Amino acid sequence: MSVLTAESGAAPADEEPPDTGERHRLTALTGLAALSLDAMASVAYGPEAIVLVLAAAGAHGLGFTLPVTLAIAGLLAVLVASYRQVIAAFPDGGGSYAVAKTHLGARTSLVAAASLVLDYVLNVAVAVTAGVAALTSAFPELYDDRLWICLAVLVLITGVNLRGIVESARAFIVPTAVFVVSILVLIAVGLFRSGPVSTAAAAGHASVLADNATTVGALLLLKAFASGCSALTGVEALANAVPSFRVPRVRRAQRAEVALGAVLGVMLIGLSVLISRFHLQPVEGVTVLAQLADASLGHNWAFYVIQFATMILLALSANTSFGGLPVLLKLLARDNYLPHVFALKADRQVHRHGVLTLAAVSAALLVFSGGDTNTLVPLFAIGVFIGFTVAQVGMVRHWREQRGRGWQGKAALNGFGAVLTGVSAVVVTATKFEDGAWLIVIALPLLVAAFETVHRAYARIGERLGLGRIPDPPHRDRSVVIVPVSNLSRLTCEALNAAASLGDEVRAVTVCHPDAEDRAQTEALVRDWALWNPGVSLVQLISERRALGRPIAAYVGEAAAAEAGSRVTVLIAEVEPDRLWQRLLQNQRGAVVAHAVRKDTDAVICRLRFRIS
């Protein structure tokens, strides 16, 4: 027995030559721009979330802004260290899903995957609505059109990502750099101020500081910590998308992860220091970041640069999901938990079906919320905390199994992180449950159930196909080819030629109707067939109800029953028009016949395309 291998000069449709494929992958810098926008932009709402919670305890409570932020920065350091290890241990991507699948079992891995899917989708909707909210705050006349603006931004981001992740990364480097530099300048200048330069941004707006301040207790601080942890969303995205990086992928992804942690930590701590220094308090209609820019730089052009940079980065931070979710969907599809179409790549190393699915679901969320950020925020960040916790617990199991140098310290670090993120997940879910978090509590198990349903379906298909088992040797059956015809033409001749090459016996069939016009056409066809004499018999099928597909399907079924042990094939010849619009001119007889035969018989269906050109 020999096995022949055919080589072609062209690469398959879903692959690229190695050099071309690497060209469409990420460096550490472009990876930071493409996959870290979510985390970078979170400084616009993370510190504010802390301030809003602590404001319930009045000015005394706001004094705990920096300690809470330092605790969050400590957790950030733990997460960065953990995900560096995840990147090294799981270079195929997948983050918490890959960790859980290896060390915690299938069900836990699906919980992690479902939480990541929900968080990625919600991140797109929240990011776009938050960015558009900043725009409508600057231009109130656009407020009524915010939904359409949200959808337009989503279409723009989707289009950029369909061109390839490298192209999207390059497009986002400039706004990311402008935002980060602006925030760092704000912090640096503010540290040299003894007091606020301006308070114009908050002028005329009511303070939301609590009149009847509560005491600063452990529960309030825990709630502030959990709310501020929204600034940590996106930290896991780099670990989920390691395959998108250039070789050496692990090293580049780890560098990007460390850079993200360093920049994000500096910005969070710096902004919190300024909040305490300037004694800022939440003001209705004005963000804390806007107050900081006003106090540090003044109400001038620099103030507006920061506002517009924030607006743009918030809108574009949805790109984190477009970089990470398609890779996760690919892994789920490869493990038979999603349709295999999600594992296919386009010619620019893009998981196109994952990108389009994310865009469609996000658009539905935007329409559901009417483009309102406050409707979506209660649902946000719960999933990512679940993913954090699962990944940390899985890495503890990983270190216990590996038992390399210093494994106890690494396991202790991950265990400590698991406790922190697990507590945060519980607190966030409990505090936001009535505000809409109950939807996530319902959606998460439903998504897990959907994954398992798809997996069982693929298992049944694999069992029927005998996947993984050596099949019996192939053998040749007698073959009967049935060719439906309606007239004589070159198409009929090509169909009979193809049928003769496929089978041992060829039969032509035509459907006859009892009315005078159709009877005359049938008689003409029979007469011309006899004159042509192709050596193939023409069978006439009488249909009283003017059906086309059913009579042919019934004849095919009778032929299959009569020819036991033979393989029956139905060859349907169709015209392939030159132009797409000319398809509208076709009568679709072939589609009707194919549907009927497929529905009522087990015959092989062969559709022969005859190109007019």
Helix (H) or strand (E) holding 572: strand 567-576
pLDDT band at 159 (very low <50, low <70, confident <90, very high): confident
Whether residue 144 contacts residue 282, with contact meaning beta carbons closer than 8 Å, is answered with no
DSSP summary character for residue 134? H
Q: pLDDT for 522-542, tens place per residue?
A: 888 889 999 999 889 899 988
Q: pLDDT for 27-78, tens place per residue?
A: 788 778 777 777 888 888 788 888 888 887 777 778 888 999 998 898 898 8
How far is residue 608's CA from residue 575's CA, in Å, rounded to a whole number? 8
How far is residue 114's CA from residue 107's CA, in Å, rounded to a whole number? 11
Whether 6 has a pLDDT exceeding 60, the answer reads no
User: What domains are there in the chain, each with its CATH number?
Assistant: 32-460 (1.20.1740.10), 479-611 (3.40.50.620)
pLDDT band at 214 (very low <50, low <70, confident <90, very high): low
Q: What integer is the mean pLDDT of 145-156?
A: 88
Q: Would you put residue 95 in left (φ > 0), alpha (ψ -120 to 50) or beta? A: left
Whether residue 257 contacts residue 84, with contact meaning beta carbons closer than 8 Å, is answered with yes
How far is residue 568's CA from residue 565's CA, in Å, rounded to a whole number? 10
Residue 8: per-residue pLDDT: 40
How far is residue 282's CA from residue 57's CA, in Å, rounded to a whole number? 12
Task: Report the percent of the chain where pLDDT is more than 70.
Answer: 87
Residue 318 — φ and ψ, nearest 5°? -60, -20
More confident residue, 613 or 562: 562
Residue 195: per-residue pLDDT: 67
DSSP summary character for residue 231? G
How far is residue 182's CA from residue 349's CA, in Å, rounded to a whole number? 33
Whether residue 429 contacts residue 437, with contact meaning beta carbons closer than 8 Å, is answered with yes
Residue 287: per-residue pLDDT: 75
**Collapsing DSSP states into helix, strand and coil, what is residue 509?**
strand
How far is residue 210's CA from residue 191's CA, in Å, rounded to a whole number? 28
Highest mean pLDDT among 120-124, 271-275, 401-405, 471-475: 271-275
More confident residue, 237 or 450: 450
Tokens read off for 326: 């398609």
- Short-list 486, 443, 438, CA closest to 589: 486
Distance of CA 55 to the CA centre of its chain: 37
Whether 10 has a pLDDT exceeding 70, the answer reads no
Residue for token pair 């029927």: 464
Alpha-helix runs per DSSP H in 139-197: 146-162, 165-191
Could you count the other beta carbons within 10 Å of the beta carbon of residue 60?
A: 12
CA dihedral 328, 333, 334, 337 (to 10 degrees): 100
Could you count the other beta carbons within 10 Å of the beta carbon of residue 574?
A: 18
- Short-list 428, 339, 443, 342, CA closest to 122: 443
Helix (H) or strand (E) holding 511: strand 505-512
- The helix/strand count (H/E) of the chain reads as 25, 5
One-character DSSP codes across 68-86: HHHHHHHHHHHHHHHHHHH
